[in-house]
Structure 1
């Protein structure tokens, strides 16, 4: 087995591609060692000491290093843990059940039922046009709600804390949504 790596727009994060499925559906982000206790793989990565974030995508794992960490030292250690995990076919989550992959609830701002058609258009655009592009960069984008012309989104994985995430939201995603859904006036990070 060979694990490929790719740089992401976030210099603190590398994307690791094991050449197989990581998550069967959805994504999962671990921002603390305590959150990582739900996954033996995430826990092992945080155990390296220099890891501050782990993100599981469909076919990749993004790992964020602490400020000032040299990736030339950390990269082989991360690759070794990933290789051991996938070769042994160990479970991704403690208990391995479907409940283990549920993304913890975040603060959604909620939608007005009167905006159902607008929300459906926004979600469709996010799913078909935005999420694939963001996944290519080692992250994900989560819809949090729509109120009075404002779309609330959360960035995850390599995109969370990325220096260009504000530009991505404001210039890329906001422009796309405004073009296709004229009711959208702004996109904000949630």
Structure 2
């Protein structure tokens, strides 16, 4: 059974908060409900409307957007709402009773080159997973039906899945111009048929699933400098790395040597230029933002 966690995310509108799940909530389309009558096909939305401050419920992909009335501030109720959502989802209760479940999902997929010549990024027009997953071989891919199918091709070396894209690394035996269309169509058809991308037992990168309530709960043994480094990586580095089909993880910080260790994944892992480029880019950024707390950044391939 899936274990859900919720991350609370601010939006540009102070009356609206996003509650992001580590699993997909709906596959076929987006849903917006202005009142409990409109929410007849969503038991989750109906329950949320029992909270007197809920004005609008929006469910899409892996998140629930909630608009509040002015009778409360989000700061006073967001943790309680997040806890209720975690309890509801982990109880296995229905989210939305989706219609036309036998019809193909409208989706497009396009191929995009990455800085790593051995890796191609296949981008979908919709979100496909709520967390990040990496599979180095077919044994690791047992919990991902999509990755398992991709590994049936002898030229597929590694598979990396994140939000709305799949990064595939290949062996040199094949050229991209000969295999890109076939891979793109396989991925598009897989999503369109509503097949499960990863199953309930799949572990996201970085280890076990995040703690309940919010992913913002940081392990207690991390010092303030490590927390500051993580914030910088999340805000400034990860979006740029993701655009190239990769991912970066904080591994450790040594206060004595002032050394930061990070792990490169997806298209960044094994890329001839990314280790040098990212290492120096991250190193320069951290030195500029954190001063003499940072001496060196060591980039490791995941």
Partner residue of 1:63 out of 155, 168, 171: 168
Alignment TM-score, normalising by the size of structure 1: 0.88
- Greater length-normalized contact order (CA 8 Å, ≥ 6 residues apart): 1
Size of the alignment, in residue pairs?
A: 181
CA distance in 2, matches of 1:129, 1:12: 25
1:82 is matched with 187
1:168 is matched with 277
CA distance in 1, matches of 2:153, 2:126: 23
- For the aligned residue pairs, the C-alpha RMSD in angstroms reads 1.9
1:45 aligns with 2:150: yes
Measure how far apart 1:104 and its partner are: 5.9
2:116 is matched with 10
Q: Secondary structure at the match of 1:54?
A: strand
CA distance in 1, matches of 2:236, 2:299: 18
1:138 aligns with 2:240: no
| Residues 57 and 74 of structure 1, relative CA distance in 2, 3 Å threshold | same
CA distance in 1, matches of 2:155, 2:135: 14
CA distance in 1, matches of 2:262, 2:284: 14
CA distance in 2, matches of 1:31, 1:57: 15
CA distance in 2, matches of 1:169, 1:146: 17
Task: Decide whether the 8 Å contact of 1:51 with 1:64 is kept in 2.
Answer: yes
Listed as ranges, the matches of 1:50-129 within 5 Å are 50-93=155-198, 96-97=199-200, 99-103=201-205, 105=207, 113=221, 116-129=223-236
CA distance in 2, matches of 1:141, 1:8: 15
Measure how far apart 1:112 and its partner are: 10
Partner residue of 2:129 out of 23, 29, 42: 23
Higher-Rg member (1/2): 2
CA distance in 2, matches of 1:112, 1:129: 23
CA distance in 2, matches of 1:92, 1:2: 16
1:184 is matched with 294
| Residues 82 and 14 of structure 1, relative CA distance in 2, 3 Å threshold | same
CA distance in 2, matches of 1:147, 1:185: 10
Q: Secondary structure at the match of 2:202?
A: helix
| Residues 105 and 46 of structure 1, relative CA distance in 2, 3 Å threshold | same
Q: Secondary structure at the match of 1:73?
A: helix
Task: Decide whether the 8 Å contact of 1:139 with 1:156 is kept in 2.
Answer: yes
Task: Decide whether the 8 Å contact of 1:15 with 1:61 is kept in 2.
Answer: yes
- Structure 1, unaligned runs of 5 or more: none
Richer in helix (by share): 1
CA distance in 1, matches of 2:124, 2:155: 21
CA distance in 1, matches of 2:114, 2:287: 26
- Structure 2, unaligned runs of 5 or more: 1-106, 209-218
